[in-house]
Amino acid sequence: MTYEAAHPTHPPTEQLQGVVERLTYHSDESGYTVARFKAPRTRELITIVGSFANIQAGQTLQVQGIWRDHPKYGAQFQVKQYQETKPATLTGIEKYLGSGLIKGVGPVTAKRIVAHFGLETLDIIENQIERLVEVPGIAKKRVKLIQTAWDSQKTIKEVMVFLQGHGVSTTYAVKIFKQYGDEAIDIVTQNPYRLATDVYGIGFITADQIARSLGIPPHSEYRYRSGLLHVLSESADEGHCYLPQPELITRAVKRLALPEYQPKPDQVEYLIHAMVADAELIVEQFEREDATELLCYAPPFFRAEFHLSRRLLQLLANPLEVDQGRVRRWLDRFMEQTNVHLSEQQQQAVELAASQRVVILTGGPGTGKTFTTRTIVALWKAMGKEIVLASPTGRAAQRLSEVTGHEAKTIHRLLEFDPKTMKFQRDVDHPIPADAVVIDEASMLDLFLANSLIKAIDTNAQLLLVGDTDQLPSVGPGNVLLDLITAQRIPVMELTEVFRQAQASQIIQNAHQINQGKFPHLESVSPAPKTDCLWLGAPEPEQGQQAIQELINDLIPQLGYVAARDVQVLCPMTRGEVGTRKLNQVLQALINPPSPSKAELTRGGLILRVGDRVLQQVNDYNREVFNGDMGVIEAINLEEVAVTVRYAERSVSYDLADLNEIGLAWAVTIHKSQGSEYPVVILPMYMQHYIMLSRNLLYTGLTRAKKLAILVGPKNAISMAIRQVKDKQRYTLLDKRLSFVAQ
């Protein structure tokens, strides 16, 4: 028997051309796609499967691949290569124009244009675009908008074709063109790793794929340098400000490895020295006991940590002179007039705030942080001080304003960010015009925001930082509030006494139980609950998903709550049956189902619909919306493919290229909920999320609930969360930099 007979040949490669009718599934992360495809002279739609950097309904594609027979789904065309071509049919032209690639033309307008001009449509737009006024509903103003978009699309076509040939989606191609203009191809060809630092959404992994497609060798110095910075960036996502050199080398070797290439540690170490010489890295020697440790910083992290510590020490070095007897007399009058008695700890906190340049007020729920803060603000007002209040998020600022009766802003607004210069206008030379500054939810302050804030505090002003160190630390790098307390350079008042009215809340009692490592008291869900903290067993994740739906359908309305307004589902992770991704799809269909009166659009596999609750996922300084801001979609313009989101303070519009900045927020991670409170919180806790389960995660999630908390899941998952004290060591030297001087 011949080899050929023993080993049958692979199916022959075929080529198809047609129109993408609809997407069954598309992953933005991997590009894996299942789509329904209409080819000429075929009555049935074809299922195509493959990896597509970008694919949209309406695109006309030429695809190459092989047929295969899926045991469950039948015949499928496995795509190996593809390229976009101009459509040749009326349906193709209509879908091409209405796909969102051309701003000003949505599905409705596209249908009108094609109905009027037929197969000549693209030639008319190319050569006689002024004739679009012949189409009903298109005015001269709209024609100009379409012409600008068409010309821009033509201009970037060469760039897009080049980039798509190397695995870059249309969305990122537009961003790359905005960043580099006509130089895009030259820059990407020379050093694609620049994309990782210059273009949001393109990290080292994507840049590395492009580089390999361009034939850049794996031992390229560009690759090593970018890889090292990427490893430090990844560590910052874990909260680290630096990495010890041995750990950086180990992580970099792992990150730079390919199936066909294994970097050597000494090569990585050599590049670290080269990057230090070029000021791309900073290595600091740190004496720890009898050993000298080398700590590797990306320069912005080192500068932020160093300057933050120095500025704090400058503030602390400028003492205050205050008549404490007068403060105590005012406090006595205040308690008499308000008919409220402050505890001994609260009175000490007020007196401390009156006499110190910088003060930290901390404590758990129900210990009176809010009323103490309000009293300090009242005292400062009585002293004639100009006061400003701020919080890291819009929702937290809104709450701070409500409880103090004084206007509060987000820290970004307080510091007056200028999108033109991409800098805060308030700094050392132009400090915040205030005699006293109150910052609530200070546990959320990461290294960079803390540095920007502190350097904008006038050296003659006072600063009050309010926060709870038992909550999760900041999403960004650093552990600022805990470091400031640990350094023992700043006066700290910790409130520990839980007030009688707060003791009536099972949420607050359970939060303190959890903090002490004890299992909380949980009442099973019933139609008429007697407590504000409930539990629903639902042992398996699939049952948990169903249980959450039943709670929203039945119990929530019975108790007088409106799911769309009052309920927030908080999850430990994004993945799994009770992760945010799956639950957002389920909850969207349940709480905000499709309706002829609600416009909607699909981006990748994500449906966005008017009325959806959404979350900003990245700091967008141009739009002045920030990571963690939550809003509601109030309008979708299908003509211009734009989405308008209403946030607490104002409305913000997103075009197609920037829709990856927002995501559904019917369910969000507990990390993303920091600084927010909701009337009702549903908290699924399952062993499938064991890697994230921890005491401070459960504590943070539970304390987001104002009126009702419902834990869903088996008790062993709750027990595991309580047992796991994941105060994971974050690599930061802020506390040491402050205490070095003290010694």
Domain CATH code at residue 238: 1.10.10.2220
Name the range with the highest mean pLDDT among 30-34, 146-150, 245-249.
Answer: 245-249
Residue 3 lies in a domain: no
Whether residue 349 sits in one domain with residue 238: no
SS3 per-residue string spanning 79-146: EEEEEEECCCCHHHHHHHHCCCCCCCCCHHHHHHHHHHHHHHHHHHHHHCHHHHHHCCCCCHHHHHHH
Quick check: 712 and 547 in contact, CB under 8 A?
yes
Whether residue 540 sits in one domain with residue 682: yes
CATH of the domain at 526: 3.40.50.300
The pLDDT of 614-627, averaged and rounded, is 83
**Residue appearing with tokens 């094609």:** 114
| pLDDT attached to residue 569 | 97
Per the structure, the count of domains in the chain is 6
The pLDDT of 197-204, averaged and rounded, is 83
The pLDDT of 686-694, averaged and rounded, is 89
The pLDDT of 353-367, averaged and rounded, is 94
Q: Which two tokens stand for residue 28?
A: 């933005």
| pLDDT attached to residue 604 | 64
The pLDDT of 488-500, averaged and rounded, is 90
Q: Of all residues in the chain, what percent carry a pLDDT higher than 70?
A: 92
Boundary (domain end) residue, out of 165, 195, 212 = 212
| pLDDT attached to residue 442 | 95
Whether residue 601 sits in one domain with residue 477: no
Residue 1 lies in a domain: no
| pLDDT attached to residue 728 | 62
pLDDT at 3 over 50: no
Quick check: 327 and 375 in contact, CB under 8 A?
no
Give pLDDT tens digits for 58-83: 778 889 889 888 877 788 999 888 88
Give pLDDT tens digits for 441-486: 999 999 999 999 999 999 999 999 999 989 988 888 999 999 999 9
Annotation: binding site for ATP: 366-370
What mean pLDDT is reported for the chain? 87
Quick check: 359 and 463 in contact, CB under 8 A?
yes
| pLDDT attached to residue 6 | 35
Annotation: binding site: 366-370
Residue 244 lies in a domain: yes
630: containing domain: 596-663
Least confident of 295-304, 522-531, 729-738: 522-531
Whether residue 154 sits in one domain with residue 23: no
Least confident of 19-33, 373-387, 485-499: 19-33
| pLDDT attached to residue 1 | 33
pLDDT at 85 over 90: no
pLDDT at 529 over 50: yes
pLDDT at 737 over 50: yes
Boundary (domain end) residue, out of 212, 232, 250 = 212
Whether residue 587 sits in one domain with residue 700: yes
Q: Which two tokens stand for residue 408?
A: 């509060």
Whether residue 491 sits in one domain with residue 417: yes
pLDDT at 256 over 90: yes
Q: Of all residues in the chain, what percent carry a pLDDT higher than 90?
A: 52
Whether residue 331 sits in one domain with residue 437: yes
Helices (H), 429-529: 447-454, 480-486, 500-503, 506-515
Task: Compute the C-alpha angle 429/433/436, nearest 5°.
Answer: 115
Q: With bands split at pLDDT 50, 70 and 90, how would you rate the model's confidence at 8?
A: very low
pLDDT at 743 over 60: no
Give pLDDT tens digits for 420-437: 777 899 999 999 999 999
Helices (H), 128-201: 140-164, 170-180, 184-190, 194-198
Length of the chain: 743
Strands 32-38 and 46-51: antiparallel
SS3 per-residue string spanning 196-212: HHHCCCCCHHHHHHHHH
Residue 5 lies in a domain: no
Q: With bands split at pLDDT 50, 70 and 90, how would you rate the model's confidence at 158?
A: low
Residue 553 lies in a domain: yes
Give pLDDT tens digits for 105-152: 877 888 889 889 988 888 888 889 899 999 988 888 888 888 887 776
Distance CA 70, CA 133 (A): 49
Q: Which two tokens stand for residue 290?
A: 């009898």
Residue 6 lies in a domain: no
Residue 224 lies in a domain: yes
Residue 432 lies in a domain: yes
Whether residue 565 sits in one domain with residue 601: no
Whether residue 274 sits in one domain with residue 386: no
Whether residue 326 sits in one domain with residue 245: no
Helices (H), 415-531: 447-454, 480-486, 500-503, 506-515
Boundary (domain end) residue, out of 84, 110, 145 = 84
Give pLDDT tens digits for 307-340: 999 999 999 998 888 888 999 999 999 999 988 8
CATH of the domain at 71: 2.40.50.140
**Residue appearing with tokens 């009903």:** 136
The pLDDT of 537-552, averaged and rounded, is 94
pLDDT at 419 over 50: yes
Instruction: Measure CA 234 to chain center.
Output: 15
Q: Which two tokens stand for residue 492?
A: 């700290």
| pLDDT attached to residue 189 | 87
| pLDDT attached to residue 156 | 61
| pLDDT attached to residue 40 | 80
Least confident of 51-60, 217-226, 562-571, 609-618: 51-60
Whether residue 671 sits in one domain with residue 689: yes
Q: With bands split at pLDDT 50, 70 and 90, how would you rate the model's confidence at 236?
A: very high
Whether residue 326 sits in one domain with residue 239: no
Q: Which two tokens stand for residue 25?
A: 């599934």
| pLDDT attached to residue 373 | 94
